[in-house]
């Protein structure tokens, strides 16, 4: 079983609509959680960290559910520029300080 699992998509979303997707992780001792964004043929870039209480950054909302071991990302009022692959990222225990586990990514395609 992979440590971080994501639905690969694609999620086809009309412009202006809301899209949400989850990611599950296997290590219950995981310490930190992030969403990265990767555009086609570009490098991954940090979108947002995910905090236990949930957090928002503009149109993006991230939630963490430790009991069920999943994190979610919700994008409101989707823009064409939101089309990208969203990578779920989990940081392990203190034994693997610095090491991140990346999911395979969820592709989002926003259409006009």
Partner 1 sequence: DAGVIQSPRHEVTEMGQEVTLRCKPISGHDYLFWYRQTMMRGLELLIYFNNNVPIDDSGMPEDRFSAKMPNASFSTLKIQPSEPRDSAVYFCASSPSDEQFFGPGTRLTVL
Q: What are phi and psi of 96, to 5 degrees?
A: -120, 45
- Specify whether the backbone of 3 is left (phi greater than 0), alpha (psi in -120 to 50) or beta: alpha
Map residues 79-98 to x or -, x wherever contact with partner 1 holds by CB under 8 A.
--------x---x----xxx
Question: Within its chain, how far is the Cα of 13 from the centroid?
Answer: 16
Distance of closest approach, residue 90 Cβ to partner 1, in angstroms: 11
The yes or no reply on residue 112 touching partner 1 (CB under 8 A) is: no
Using the rule CB under 8 A, which residue among 78, 105, 107, 108 binds partner 1?
105
Give φ, ψ of 104 to 5 degrees: -75, -15
Q: Among residue numbers 30 through 59, which ones bind partner 1 (CB under 8 A)?
A: 32, 34, 42-46, 49
């Amino acid at each position: 079983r992979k440590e971080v699992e994501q639905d690969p998509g694609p999620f086809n979303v009309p412009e202006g609509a809301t899209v949400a997707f989850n990611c599950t992780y296997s290590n219950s001792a995981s310490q930190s959680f992030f969403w990265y964004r990767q555009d086609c043929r570009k490098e991954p870039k940090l979108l947002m960290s995910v905090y236990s209480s949930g957090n928002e950054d503009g149109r993006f909302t991230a939630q963490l559910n430790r009991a069920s071991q999943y994190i979610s990302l919700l994008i409101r009022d989707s823009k064409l520029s939101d089309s990208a692959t969203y990578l779920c990222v989990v940081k392990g225990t203190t034994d693997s300080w610095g090491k991140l586990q990346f999911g395979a990514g969820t592709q989002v395609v926003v259409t006009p």
